[in-house]
Amino acid sequence: MTLRLGDTAPNFQADTTQGPIDFYQWKGDSWAILFSHPKDFTPVCTTELGYTAKLRPEFEKRGVKVLGLSVDPVESHHRWEKDIEETQGTAVNFPVIGDADRKVSELYGLIHPNASDTLTVRSVYVIGPDNKVKLSITYPASTGRNFDEILRVIDSLQLTSEHKVATPVNWRDGEDVIIVPSVSDDEARQRFPGGWNTVKPYLRLVPQPKSKG
């Protein structure tokens, strides 16, 4: 199965390092990240899980729940977590799915036979409160993910889901955004009474609107 942007993320039940979960019940109406790891006790994954644990305040600030996965069993995850805490300086503080039967991996298309018949690729799914896939990124096994970039994208996703704007190249939270072309100038005057900068008729820059939340 291949999940594309806008698809509904499938529900599942699984054992994790923090007990059994039903994905939809665990997630509730929050945003969520599901990210897969090729194997326990591997160097790149060790750094990734440690850094993700350090980012917990940033995820909580954005209302995002984090869920890891690899094809090793939960018992192996628990042993590995001791190494992660020792080497990365932070205990893993989010659940990690034990997917030894590859049920969740196959449901989410995380096994890529041309890369490996047995191990999951290094994928990230960002799933919205509506259970739709908002972002998917797949990295090669040799390349660690950039979770600062994932946070940046979540900021953009949450902002653009609330306002009729898009974010330009290399945008960071607090910087100017783009009024989407479907918004007429008349509508824009109502939405953005402070005005905007028209670079081209299709490129209108405006200060980032404040969240209503």
Catalytic residues: 45
Tell me whether strands 13-14 and 21-22 are parallel, antiparallel or unpaired.
antiparallel
Cβ–Cβ under 8 Å, residues 99 and 16: no
Number of H helices, E strands in the chain: 7, 11
Q: CA 35, CA 198: separation in Å to the nearest integer?
A: 39
Tell me whether strands 122-127 and 133-139 are parallel, antiparallel or unpaired.
antiparallel
Q: Positive or negative, the Cα torsion across 191, 7, 134, 63?
A: positive
Q: CA 22, CA 25: separation in Å to the nearest integer?
A: 5
Q: CA 202, CA 188: separation in Å to the nearest integer?
A: 13
